[in-house]
Structure formats: C-alpha cells, structure tokens
C-alpha cells in the first residue's frame, strides 16, 4: 500500500458533531483530569483523577463518521487547506483528511507531512481557562490533542515514517507559553501569524501548495534571514524550570483576496461555511479584527453549502461570520457602521435558495442587530425563524461596565454610545427573542486586568435587570477569562485561580445561576418539548452541567473566606429573581 504524502487531521474534540447540539461544542473546554487530586480523597476513590467523567464526555463528544478511516466531515479550516492543496496540483491520493481514531493507517514511509489543526491545543483558550481554574486541571481539548500527538509519533516510529509534524490554526500561540509540549509532541514546526494569536491564511493562492512544497523540500529546516522566502523561520528558544527548549515557528502573513480563497471540496463540520473574513469593529481584545475585512459573494457561499449538501447530506448551514451585521459594509466609509440590510437580505435569500432547512450565523453584535429596525424582522422571515426553528447566535456581552466597554470596545456599540450599552443589551435581547433568535453571550472576566469590583457589580446588575424586566427572555452567558491577544497581546493573562476577587467570583456565579435556571433548564426543556426522549436527555444534561459549577463555586468561596462567601450570599438574596 502507498501512503499519502500529506495527512491532515484534528483531535476528537474538533472532529465531533456533538450530537447535533451546537452549544455542546464548548464541552471540549471541560476539565478532564485533576492531576493534583489527593489519592486519599473519596472523590479519587470514585473517579480517580477524572473531573468530568470520561464516559459522559465521550458520549456527548461522539466521534464523527468515517469512510475507511477518512473523515466524512472535518473542521472548516482544515477543509480549506485540503482544497488549497488540490487546487495547487496535489493529487487526491496525495492528500488525506484522516479521522483521528484511524490516524495510524495513513502514516507510512511515503508520508512527508502531518498537519494538525489546533484551536486550543494546550487548553489556554478563554473558555477553557475558566473551566480549569487557569489550567490547574487538564481540559479535554488538551487531553485529546495530547493523545493525538502521542499516537502520531507511535505510528511514525512503527511504520518507519519521517513525516514532519506541523501544527497550525488559531490556537498555536499557546506553544509559546508551554514549550515543553513542542518537544513532547515532536513538532517539527508551528505555523504562526504575524499579528497576535491569529493564524495565517495559508489557503490563499500564494501559499497552500507552496507552503507544503517548501516544508517537504526542507526549505524550512534552517532559519536563514538572508534567504528570500515568504515563509519566515524563527527558531525560538525558551528556558523553563532549568531546561532549554526550542521550537521552529513558521511565520507567514497574507491577506488573500476572496477570489484567491478556494472553495471547500468535501463537507465541513456542522455545515460550516464562511461568508466573510475580518471585522472592522476594532475591539482591542480581539485578534479577528486585525484581519482586513472581506466578504464572500453569495454565489461562493452557495457553492460551499452545496458541497455540504451533496457530499455530506447536510440540511443546515452554519454561517461563519465575525460580526454578520457588518457583512457588505465598508467600516471606513459607512457612517456609524449602519448595517447594509439589502446585502444581508440578499445573502440569506441566496443561502435559503440552496434548499437547506436551517441556517444561523455564528457571531454578531447586538448593536448591529438593532441598528436598523427592519433588519432582524426581515432576515428572520427569510430564514424562516419560528418557535420550532430558533436561530442561535454568539454575541459579545463582554462586560456590564460602561467604563470598560467604552475603553476597550467602543466601536462594537456603533451606532450607539458606551453610555447606552445597558439599553443596547436589553433592546438587543428583546428584539432577537421576539424573532426567535437566542443569543449565547460571552463576557470577559478580568478584561486587561483592569476590572474593578464596581465594574463586576455593574455586570451582575445588568444580568439581573434583564431577568427581572424580561422574565421570559432566552439567552445564555458564558464568562471567559481574559487572554492577551489582539491589540492587548502584551498584557498579562488573567489568572482565575489566584486573582479572582470576590466580585469577579460573583460575576461567574451569577452567569451560571442564570444559565442553570434560565438558559439550560427552561430553554432546553422548550427545545425538547415535542420529543420526550430529547426532553429527558436535555433535562439530565442540564442538571449535570448546570449544578456542578454552582456547587463548586460555593465550595471555592468557602475555601477563600468570608468576603467571597458574602458575595455569593448577596447574589442569592438580592440578585435572583
């Protein structure tokens, strides 16, 4: 048997349909192992060092299907790299997107490169850092990424392969903070963008095949500053715990035009298809905004959806967008970021014309959603939003503090002003819910380590006011710890384990209290109301997922002392409706 020249893959947490529950894809951030658990404790006797039982995790994170070990669906970014290689002359036999459980059967003597797609390889992403108390526990993201690399290395040793293992995608910045993993995983190289944590766009016409050619031909073996190459090699040296480590970081920066970005040729995970790259809102804590803004024309979006329908049998399209409401506008010339309603209507009409049954954009801003009062009603009609067809969208709540939002993300609010932020949040939730959209909010704890207790209380109050004033509202709020990327890349991580003051614990407690009762129990019950099995499943899931963080935060408060406990009591007494 001849082995493929290039094997592309990703770990199990990125290769799962999560049983079709879109919010469950966050579950990869859940803690897997507590390596410091006392062996004499009762918990250790029951679970060993498992935190979220593996049985539960593996049930929710079900593996994606495969055909003879080739993944039937793959992360969108990996599909783009595959498409770029095919476009640039690699034959179909040369390139395989392997299912992580069958990786061994594709790595052999002829294999020259193994590319791994990594979004949160070491569990340092904002959601994961929150769930693992700042990486004091090991997340499933990290657990399965480690497992994948160990298996790749074993397969190489067993099959006599000298393949270069190269890690790419938006999470590779994490290796800078734990370089021992570069050695442990035997990484030949790490692909890194030039701006903050953002991954380079290697699917453009000037990279793709050329990137892999250069990798395979040994052009990246040495860092030669005098050699002209579009791929800059930086051999970084690190000292950690009395040991020296080094890593080959491959920098590349390009802003391919939309015509130079290939269409996927095989189905993407969750029916994902992008409609734009970049976002012109300029939030300081975000790296996406460092990319120039480009939009896909409707026909290009349709082509990718058709690939997903034809080869993947998919009936839904997740529309990847950074802020869908800036689609079709020019942030430099459009007054106050006023949405381009006509462009959005055309886009969604084109998406529905493919024959799919459901679509939702991945991200959007509240300000954009309400800046034009006909926008959400019109788009909702086009995409047939209804009580049986809710439209999920992730929106940045970021903070309830008008001071912080003004300082770090004022254009996120355009055309509104920071002082209007509370009104924007409340009106945004009302408008979206009225048209069957459900926002999944994220907020940032310890934003640039600049959040005061008063800022935190403003956040708690705003969530509570929403609950009181709009008791039937549907939304979830996930707190994320601050990670220094984007324009704040020189700042420090927010260390949730040791710098969480009482008010910040309060923010976390309030969000989970909300998610448990409102977001999970109420909404999930409604989602499953026509299907008793689904209903039972969601109710059990809600109890398991929702109750655990609240109890553990109460325990954490008791350990921390009276000030932390007082905050929990105050929220229970005054901020619960």
Among 126, 197, 262, 396, binds ligand SF4 (CB under 6 A): 396
Of 170-178, 274-282, 440-448, 554-562, the window that binds ligand SF4 (rule: CB under 6 A) is 274-282
Among 412, 464, 474, 514, binds ligand SF4 (CB under 6 A): 412
Does residue number 281 form part of the binding site for ligand SF4 (CB under 6 A)?
A: yes
How is residue 70 annotated by DSSP? E
Q: Which helix (H) or strand (E) holds 31?
A: strand 31-33
Q: Which helix (H) or strand (E) holds 477?
A: strand 476-481
DSSP-derived secondary structure for 364-415: --HHHHHSSTTHHHHHHHHTT-BTTB-EEEEEEEE-S-HHHHHHH-GGGGTT
Of 118-126, 180-188, 283-291, 312-320, the window that binds ligand SF4 (rule: CB under 6 A) is 283-291
Inter-residue contact 26 to 133 (CB < 8 Å): no
Strand-pair category, 272-274 with 316-320: parallel
Q: How far is the CB of 291 from ligand SF4 (least distance, A)?
A: 10
Q: How far is the CB of 289 from ligand SF4 (least distance, A)?
A: 3
CA distance 47 to 196: 39
Q: How far is the CB of 319 from ligand SF4 (least distance, A)?
A: 14
Of 281-289, 376-384, 514-522, 562-570, the window that binds ligand SF4 (rule: CB under 6 A) is 281-289
Q: How far is the CB of 171 from ligand SF4 (least distance, A)?
A: 17
Token digits of residue 110? 């002829």
Q: How far is the CB of 451 from ligand SF4 (least distance, A)?
A: 17
Token digits of residue 572? 């229970």
Token digits of residue 304? 């990718």
Among 288, 317, 413, 485, binds ligand SF4 (CB under 6 A): 288
Comparing CB distances to ligand SF4, the nearer of 129 and 542 is 129
Q: What is the contact mask toward ligand SF4 in residues 420 to 459, using x (rule: CB under 6 A)? A: ----------------------------------------
Of 23-31, 232-240, 285-293, 511-519, the window that binds ligand SF4 (rule: CB under 6 A) is 285-293
Comparing CB distances to ligand SF4, the nearer of 73 and 173 is 173
Question: Tokens 């408060």 sit at which residue?
Answer: 557
Q: What are phi and psi of 163, to 5 degrees?
A: -55, 140
Contacts of 391 (CB under 8 A, 6+ apart): 360, 380, 383, 385, 435, 436, 437, 438
Does residue number 111 form part of the binding site for ligand SF4 (CB under 6 A)?
A: no
Does residue number 322 form part of the binding site for ligand SF4 (CB under 6 A)?
A: yes
Query: DSSP 3-state assignment of 150?
Result: helix
Does residue number 394 form part of the binding site for ligand SF4 (CB under 6 A)?
A: no
Among 71, 78, 167, 283, binds ligand SF4 (CB under 6 A): 283
Q: How far is the CB of 398 from ligand SF4 (least distance, A)?
A: 8
Q: Which of 328, 210, 205, 351 is nearest to 276 (CA)?
A: 328
Beta bridge partners of 66: 71
Comparing CB distances to ligand SF4, the nearer of 114 and 283 is 283
Does residue number 485 form part of the binding site for ligand SF4 (CB under 6 A)?
A: no
Environment class of residue 338 by beta-carbon count within 10 Å: exposed (0-12), middle (13-18) or buried (19+)?
Answer: middle
> How many Cβ atoms are within 10 Å of 142's Cβ, its own excluded?
28
Inter-residue contact 324 to 368 (CB < 8 Å): yes
DSSP-derived secondary structure for 457-469: HHHHHHHHHHHHH
Q: Which of 138, 140, 124 is nearest to 173 (CA)?
A: 124
Of 195-203, 282-290, 414-422, 449-457, the window that binds ligand SF4 (rule: CB under 6 A) is 282-290
Inter-residue contact 376 to 435 (CB < 8 Å): yes
Comparing CB distances to ligand SF4, the nearer of 34 and 322 is 322
Comparing CB distances to ligand SF4, the nearer of 324 and 524 is 324
Size of the site for ligand SF4 (CB under 6 A): 13
Residues 210-229 that bind ligand SF4 (CB under 6 A): none
Rg of the chain in Å (alpha carbons): 23
Residues 352-391 that bind ligand SF4 (CB under 6 A): 365
Among 105, 116, 174, 289, binds ligand SF4 (CB under 6 A): 289
Among 11, 141, 178, 323, binds ligand SF4 (CB under 6 A): 323
Among 8, 83, 145, 286, binds ligand SF4 (CB under 6 A): 286
Residues that bind ligand SF4 (CB under 6 A): 279, 281-283, 286, 288-289, 322-323, 365, 396, 409, 412
């Amino acid at each position: 048997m001849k082995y493929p020249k290039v094997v592309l893959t990703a770990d199990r947490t990125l290769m799962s349909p999560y049983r079709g529950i879109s919010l469950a894809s966050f579950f990869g951030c859940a803690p897997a192992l507590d390596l410091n658990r006392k062996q004499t404790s009762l918990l250790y006797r029951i679970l060993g060092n498992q935190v979220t039982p593996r049985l539960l995790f593996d049930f929710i994170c079900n593996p994606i299907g495969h055909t003879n070990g080739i993944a039937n669906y793959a992360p969108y970014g990996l599909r783009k790299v595959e498409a770029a290689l095919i476009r640039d002359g690699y034959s179909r036999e040369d390139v395989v997107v392997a299912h992580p459980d069958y990786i061994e059967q594709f790595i052999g003597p002829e294999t020259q490169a193994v590319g791994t797609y990594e979004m949160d390889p070491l569990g340092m992403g904002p959601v994961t850092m929150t769930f693992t108390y700042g990486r004091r526990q090991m997340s499933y993201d990290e657990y399965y990424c480690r497992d994948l690399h160990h298996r790749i290395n074993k397969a190489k040793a067993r099959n006599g392969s000298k393949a270069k293992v190269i890690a790419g995608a938006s999470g590779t910045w994490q290796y800078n903070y734990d370089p021992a993993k570069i050695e442990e995983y035997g990484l030949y190289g790490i692909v890194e963008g030039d701006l903050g944590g953002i991954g380079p766009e290697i699917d453009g016409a000037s990279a793709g095949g050329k990137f892999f050619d250069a990798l395979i031909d040994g052009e990246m073996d040495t860092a030669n500053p005098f050699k002209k190459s579009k791929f800059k090699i930086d051999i970084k040296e690190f000292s950690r715990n009395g040991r020296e480590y080094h890593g080959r970081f491959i920098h590349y920066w390009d802003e391919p035009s939309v015509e130079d970005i290939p269409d996927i040729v095989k189905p993407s995970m969750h029916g994902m298809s992008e409609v734009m790259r970049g976002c012109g809102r300029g939030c300081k804590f975000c790296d996406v905004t460092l990319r120039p803004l480009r939009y896909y024309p409707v026909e290009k979006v349709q082509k990718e959806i058709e690939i997903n329908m034809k080869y993947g049998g998919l009936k839904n399209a997740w529309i990847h967008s950074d802020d869908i409401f800036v689609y079709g506008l020019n942030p430099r010339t459009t007054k106050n970021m006023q949405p381009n309603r006509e462009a959005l209507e055309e886009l969604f009409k084109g998406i529905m014309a493919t024959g799919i049954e459901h679509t939702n954009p991945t991200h959007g801003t509240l300000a954009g959603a309400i800046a034009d009062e006909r926008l959400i009603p019109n788009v909702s009609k086009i995409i047939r939003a209804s009580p049986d067809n809710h439209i999920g969208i992730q929106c940045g709540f970021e903070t309830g503090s008008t001071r912080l939002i003004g300082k770090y993300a004022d254009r996120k609010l355009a055309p509104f002003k920071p002082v209007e932020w509370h009104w924007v949040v409340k009106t945004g939730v009302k408008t979206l819910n009225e048209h069957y959209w459900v926002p999944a909010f994220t907020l940032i704890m310890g934003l640039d380590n600049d959040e005061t207790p008063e800022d935190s209380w403003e956040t708690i109050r705003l969530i509570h006011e929403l609950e009181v004033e709009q008791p039937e509202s549907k939304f979830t709020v996930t707190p994320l710890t601050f990670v220094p990327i984007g324009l704040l890349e020189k700042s420090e991580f927010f260390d949730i384990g040791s710098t969480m003051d009482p008010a910040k614990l309060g923010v976390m407690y309030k969000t989970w209290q909300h998610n448990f009762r409102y977001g999970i129990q109420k909404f999930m019950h409604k989602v499953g109301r026509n299907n008793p099995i689904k209903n039972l499943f969601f109710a059990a899931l809600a109890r398991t997922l929702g109750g655990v963080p609240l109890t553990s935060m109460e325990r954490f408060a008791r350990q921390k002392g009276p000030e932390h406990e007082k905050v929990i009591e105050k929220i229970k007494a005054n901020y619960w409706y």
